[in-house]
Amino acid sequence: MENRADNYNNIKKVNGERYIACGLKTGRITVEGIVGNDCAAFMDGAVMEIYGNAQDGLGNTMNNGYVIVHGHAGDIVGYSMRGGNIFIRDYAGYRIGIHMKEYKDRIPCIVIGETVGEFLGEYMAGGVIAVLNKNSKEDPAGDHIAPGMHGGVIYIKGKVAEYKLSPQIKTEVLNDYDISILNNLIYKYEEQFHLSLSRNYNEYIKIVPKNSRPYGKFFI
């Protein structure tokens, strides 16, 4: 590991090691290789840049900071994430953004460059997820999109079959505010990965919950 005086660390030849950058509050860490489960968990302000792929649980309960993945990511990225930003250059697995939440001006964001697996935004309570589908694939997201979602917003580029949408959610056309958010996220994505993406916002759908208490009728 290369350790510099300016609070910068570079870890090379990583092959599945877990818990890297957990709880880190300051500084910048770059990793070369494939990181294991639960890296950047509870991270609170630092920057982690991964030159390779990430396994499951990246950014678990992350509070603040940046995570940048120059590759793919596994399942449950941003599990219970409550602040900060995660940018994934390529695709991500199942249950991305599960239980994500926001509070006042602390709004977590997850940006995926390609496609995602099933159960995107499950039980999502806040924050922003953007699936940019940079290669314009016909099927940008897996089945069971946002079951139990009761807050936040999801943007997906491309067509999503009606049967994939959970009963608790609805789709809307992007308004000017949505476009400004999405444009900012795309700009940051392009900046991180030195790529150029389409700005045709008519290709995107917006997913929001129908109400803030989808299961309220089951409780007294």
Q: What is the pLDDT of residues 143-154, one digit of tens each?
A: 999 999 999 999
Read off the pLDDT of each residue in 155-173 and give the average, rounded to a whole number.
95
Residue 169 structure tokens: 């959610």
**Rama region for 161: left / alpha / beta (φ>0; ψ in -120 to 50; rest):** beta
Is the model's pLDDT at 218 over the cut of 90? Answer: no
Identify whether the C-beta of residue 172 lies closer than 8 Å to the C-beta of residue 156: no
- pTM (two decimals): 0.94
